[in-house]
A = this chain, B = another copy of it.
């Protein structure tokens, strides 16, 4: 709804998924079900510490959840929160899409007017 843009996007969620490394991490976690800082860093072009920081950020915005298991700490994606993020992506995308469509319609209308 909202005649305006509905750009009520959680900026924290956006910046969380805005980073390429974090997107890749979410991808890996979704593929493998879970993972630790160490296992993820082995499949990424960055160090374990960098991954650990990213996991901290993702955890703070609730996109992943930690589960201590012995000497390691397994992370899993929070389905609900990721679905929320996906919805926001779609929201911005469709808002822009709507504006593009509207511009196209106006352009076509002008074309028709010219041809009269």
Determine the chain B residues whose CB is within 8 A of the CB of A14 once the complex forms.
Answer: 18, 20, 23
Complex alpha-carbon distance, A90 and B89, angstroms:
7
What separation, in Å, do the CA atoms of A103 and B82 have in the docked complex?
13
Q: Are B90 and A90 in contact (CB under 8 A)?
A: yes
The residues in A between 83 and 102 inclusive whose CB is less than 8 angstroms from any CB of B are: 83, 85-86, 89-90, 92-93, 95-97, 99-100
Residue A61 is within 8 A (CB to CB) of chain B in the complex: no
Count of identical protomers in the assembly: 2
Asked if A72 is at the interface (CB within 8 A of a chain B CB), the reply is no
The residues of B that contact A92 with a CB separation of less than 8 Å are 23, 89
Complex contact B82–A86 (CB within 8 A) = no
From the candidates B5, B27, B82, name the one contacting A27 in the complex (CB within 8 A): B5
A: number of interface residues (CB 8 Å) = 32
Q: Can you name the residue of chain B whose Cβ is closest to the Cβ of A23?
A: B92
Give the B-binding residues of A (Cβ under 8 A). 5, 7, 9, 11, 14-15, 18-20, 23-24, 26-27, 30-31, 33, 79, 82-83, 85-86, 89-90, 92-93, 95-97, 99-100, 103-104
